[in-house]
Amino acid sequence: MRQAGRYLPEYRKIRAKVDFLTLCKSPELAAEVTIQPVDILGVDAAILFSDILIPIEKMGLKLRFYEKKGPKFSNPIRTQKDADKLKIINPKEDVPYVLETIRILRKALNVPLIGFSGAPFTAATYMIEGGSSKNFLKTKQIIYNDPLLFTSLMGKITQTTIDYLCAQIEAGAQAVQLFDSWAGALSPSDYEVAAFPYAKKVIEALRPLGVPIIYFVNDCPGVLSIAAGSGADVIGVDWRVDMAEAVRKVGQTITVQGNLDPCVLFSSKNYIKDMALDVIEKGKGARAHIFNLGHGVLPETPPENVKTLVKVVHEAY
Ligand code: CP3
């Protein structure tokens, strides 16, 4: 999950000097903010500091991040002509800074490094909507009304995702996570057609590279049993499903990751402990369980409470 970021004063100090995209594209600085939560919190793995929108920009979209409003693409994809103009990225040429960040991190870190990408459906929502969205109406309209456009767009995104993650693994990422942050906005039958096959294709292509693959599906309850068939080693789940039920749904052949509600970090030490132990207890039914939040750390979170959580989890295992 997102574990670096604005809740850490150490991160804000660096961000005061550079904008977010510059930070993602500056290997020394990106490596520094990747390491911050490892040093400060004592977490057991580092997640590369970057953003799922970085490779999308290089496919041919104009990206800007606005304070508070988040990311915006000024030329969203709405027609076949728009999709035809997109290119499949060449990671070494198009995003060398991401690969360089990974190489720096592998020398500096003494915990495993997780690389990541958006899953194809989630990437498509940003490309079609032009930013974050509530109902994903434009994306769904294309799925329903122009399946040829949707499949040609998804083909390009899927190939970019495969090449991008292969390059991250080659540069040194020791596990990779696919973020399907908006797949839960789909009905289960739409998920099965419009999101799942593309995530599965990425996972199948990465399989020969031999690193663990984590597939995170946000807002997962309706689609969890389908996602479990993706071929991923680990299914990451958000907090909207009880961990015991998640374990029942994914079965005994897959590891689960998650799923404490990030808002619990705004409660007392005792409450944090009780809720974390509940997740840990329920995760014991799975093949294996990677303790995590059910989504990223929220910007206003008190860092002390994240430290408390890490301590509680370490003591419980
Ligand atoms: O924790 C880490 O070190 C990992 C870094 C990371 C970021 N984004 C940094 C970031 C990761 C793994 C992501 C993934 C990402 N980006 C996702 C998938 C994960 C999820 O949360 O579901 C998504 C949907 C995005 C797109 C994105 N990036 C949005 C919608 C926003 C704006 C929202 C916000 O919080 O402002 C971002 C910005 C972003 N990405 C920030 C960080 C630290 C905040 C930027 C800042 O410093 O101002």
Tell me which residue range forms the domain holding 177: 9-236
For a pLDDT cut of 90, what percent of the chain falls above it?
A: 98
Clarify whether 164 is annotated catalytic. Answer: no
In Å, the largest CA–CA distance within the chain is: 56
Which listed residue (7, 11, 51, 238) is catalytic? Answer: 51
Does 241 reside within a domain? Answer: no
Residue 41 sits in a domain whose CATH number is 3.20.20.210
Query: Atom 48 (ligand 1): residue with closest C-alpha?
Result: 20
Q: Please indicate, yes or no, if residue 82 is contained in any of the structural domains.
A: yes
Could you tell me if residue 312 is inside a domain?
A: no
- The residue whose CA has the least distance to atom 30 of ligand 1 is 70
Q: Judge if pTM exceeds 0.75.
A: yes
The answer to the question of residue 248 being in a domain is: no
135 upstream amide cis, omega within 30 of 0: no
Distances (CA, A) of 195 to 73, 121, 151, 239, 261: 21, 5, 11, 21, 24
Number of H helices, E strands in the chain: 16, 9
Q: Evaluate whether residue 264 is within a structural domain.
A: no
Residue 1 has a pLDDT of 82
- Residue 302, in any domain of the structure: no
Closest residue to atom 22 of ligand 1, CA basis:
181
Q: In this structure, is residue 101 part of a structural domain?
A: yes
Element (DSSP H or E) covering residue 44 = none
* Confidence at residue 69, expressed as pLDDT on a 0 to 100 scale: 87
pLDDT mean across residues, the chain: 97
**Predicted pLDDT at 71:** 96
Six-digit token string for 296? 């990223």
pLDDT for the residue numbered 293? 98
Between the alpha carbon of residue 315 and those of residues 20, 267, 277, 294, the distances in Å are 35, 19, 10, 20
Q: Is 6 a catalytic residue?
A: yes
DSSP calls for 80-120: HHHHHT-----HHHH-HHHHHHHHHHHHH-SS-EEEEEE-H
Tell me, using a 6 A CB cutoff, whether residue 132 lines ligand 1.
yes
Q: What tens digit of pLDDT does each residue of 82-123 get? A: 999 999 999 999 999 999 999 999 999 999 999 999 999 999
Which of 112, 86, 122 shows the shortest CA–CA distance to 34? 112
Share of the chain above pLDDT 70, in %: 100
Is 240 a catalytic site residue? no
Ligand 1 proximity of 11 Cβ (cutoff 6 Å): no
Is the pLDDT score of 317 beyond 90? Answer: no
CA pair distance 237, 243, nearest whole angstrom? 8
Establish if 67 belongs to a structural domain. yes
The pLDDT value given to residue 247: 98
Number of domains comprising the chain: 1
Cβ of 43 below 6 Å from ligand 1: no
